[in-house]
Amino acid sequence: MAEVSLKAVKKSYGRIDVIKGVDIHINDGEFVVFVGPSGCGKSTLLRVIAGLEDITEGIIEIGGRMVNELPPKERGVAMVFQSYAIFPHMTVRENIAFGLTIAGASKQEKQQKVAEAARILQMEHLLDRRPSQLSGGQRQRVAIGRAITRKPAVFLFDEPLSNLDAALRMD
Domain ranges (residues) in the chain: 4-75, 76-170
pLDDT at 167: 47
Q: Which architecture characterizes domain 4-75 according to CATH?
A: 3-Layer(aba) Sandwich (3.40)
CATH fold match for the domains 4-75 and 76-170: yes
3-state SS, residue 24: strand
Contacts of 169 (CB under 8 A, 6+ apart): 161
pLDDT digits (tens, 9 = 90+) for 66-104: 999 999 989 999 988 877 788 999 999 999 999 899 888
* Per-residue H/E/C for 103-131: CCCCHHHHHHHHHHHHHHCCCHHHCCCCH
pLDDT at 118: 95
What value does the mean pLDDT take over residues 151-165? 78
Is the predicted pLDDT of residue 35 greater than 50, yes or no?
yes
pLDDT category of residue 58 using cuts at 50, 70 and 90: very high
Q: Is the dihedral of CA 138, 79, 73, 11 positive or negative?
A: positive
Which segments of the chain does DSSP mark as H helices, in order?
Answer: 42-50, 92-102, 107-120, 136-149, 166-170
pLDDT digits (tens, 9 = 90+) for 20-32: 999 999 999 999 9
Q: Which architecture characterizes domain 76-170 according to CATH?
A: 3-Layer(aba) Sandwich (3.40)
Cα separation, 57 vs 20, in Å, equals: 9
Cα separation, 68 vs 50, in Å, equals: 10
Cα separation, 28 vs 31, in Å, equals: 9
